Amino acid sequence: VLAVDLLNPTPQAEARKHKLKMLVPGPRSFFMDVKCPGCFTITTVFSHAQTVVVCAGCSQVLCQPTGGKARLTEGCSFRRNTASMTTTRYTESEWRAMISEVARELEVYEQDYCPDIDKIDIARTIDHTLLKLDATPKQIDELCAEARVANFASVCVRPNYVAQAHANLKGSNVLIASVIGFHKGTQDTYYKLQETRKALTAGAHELDVVINWPLLKQQEYSEIYHELALIRSMAPQPTVLKLIFETSQLASRDIVAACTIASAANFDFVKTSTGFLGHGAKVEHVRLMRAACDHLADKRTDRHRMQVKASGGVRTVEDAITMLKAGAT
């Protein structure tokens, strides 16, 4: 259940107190853009919202839950948000069957994915990252300066430093990435949506979302997809979404499952690890993730081709080349 304006710091207390009290929606649920009759602000509302939703501009009540659905206030107009998706896609048994099929048909190749590695601008594959909790503003400034000089693809910082990084890198080719649910991934969905909105508002172009990997190991696939679909709907393309797996804690089947769910939720990248738990990127995991991404794109016409990010333990040019050859991008 997503009512985007519940994340605004000023909505009415009644809308806020329920946070994300979720009703498991059916396959016909969707998001709609509702126009306020008072100030004409557009608010994204979930069709099965179970809380009062208020306008971000003037705090007028836009809809109230009635009979499991969001009933619009008189005078409000809406249109279906076609850029978003339903938050329930398959049953648990359907998820398990699909993941088993992908795992069974998967072929992991040993050949190099980048035979012409000398022609690649390695700097443009690097996210220059500083995520430690005790990072200082001065260190963020230095990180951004280094990224400008080296022309890295992006800098990756925690949400509280996105605005500073954005100011530092204005006018450059370096993008701003931030992290959601870092580093454990077990925060509740409401918390992750708050972080998502904060990072986007501050100027982030890319979001690295940590999957709830304990739930993944328990095969709670519907709940994971539900969360990722909400984040994707709040951060539609061209925002780049990367899903961090924490591969050191996962079996091969879990990795395949995470790739399958990420693809269904329309994520752009899958990423090996946070770098804060267990080992970092390993060649065998990168190869498996690349094979799964390619398989999902080739076998299912409704899926785009995700890319793979190797993260954790990649500290030298030689390390980077090894990961690029294994299938990272």
Q: How many residues does the chain have?
A: 329
Q: Which amino acid is present at 219?
A: Q
154 has which bridge partners? Answer: 127, 175
- Helix, strand, coil percentages (3-state) for the chain, rounded to 5, are 40, 15, 45
Tokens of 210: 């940590």
How many CB atoms lie under 10 A from the CB of residue 20?
Answer: 20
Location of structure tokens 């994915």: 113
Is 132 a residue of the active site?
no
Residue 167 CA from chain centroid, whole number:
23
How many CB atoms lie under 10 A from the CB of residue 96?
Answer: 14
How many CB atoms lie under 10 A from the CB of residue 224?
Answer: 24
How many CB atoms lie under 10 A from the CB of residue 133?
Answer: 7
DSSP 73: P
Of 5, 83, 84, 73, which is closest to residue 41 (Cα–Cα)?
A: 5
Is 170 a residue of the active site?
no
Q: Are 71 and 246 in contact (CB under 8 A)?
A: no
In this structure, the strands spanning 77-80 and 42-46 are unpaired
Give the active site residue among 208, 254, 268, 294: 208
Of 18, 19, 17, which is closest to residue 194 (Cα–Cα)?
A: 19
DSSP 3-state of 72: strand
How many CB atoms lie under 10 A from the CB of residue 121?
Answer: 9
Location of structure tokens 């050949």: 111
Is 271 a residue of the active site?
yes
Give the active site residue among 127, 271, 282, 294: 271
Location of structure tokens 């206030």: 73
Q: Are 233 and 84 in contact (CB under 8 A)?
A: yes
Residues with active-site annotation: 208, 271, 309
